[in-house]
Chain A
Amino acid sequence: EIVLTQSPGTLSLSPGERATLSCRASQSVSSRYLAWYQQKHGQAPRLLIFDTSSRATGIPARFSGSGSGTDFTLTISRLEPEDFAVYYCQQYDSSPRMYIFGQGTKLEIK
Chain B
Amino acid sequence: QVQLQESGPGLVKPSETLSLTCTVSGDSMNSYYWNWIRQSPGKGLEWIGYIYYSGSAHYNPSLKSRVTISVDTSRNQFSLNLTSVTAADTAVYFCGRSLSSSLDSWGQGTLVSVSS
Contacts and interface: CB of A to CB of B under 8 A. Distances in A.
A102 B61 CA distance: 17
A99 B44 contact: no
B8 to A, nearest CB: 16
Nearest to B6: A44
B69 to A, nearest CB: 13
B47 A47 contact: no
Interface of A: 1, 32-35, 37, 43-47, 50-51, 56-57, 88, 90, 92, 96-104
Interface residues of B, number: 22
A43 B92 CA distance: 10
Interface of B: 35, 37, 44-47, 50, 58, 60-61, 94, 96, 98, 100-104, 106-109
A92 B58 contact: no
A56 B107 CA distance: 17
A46 B37 CA distance: 13
Contacts of A35: 101-103
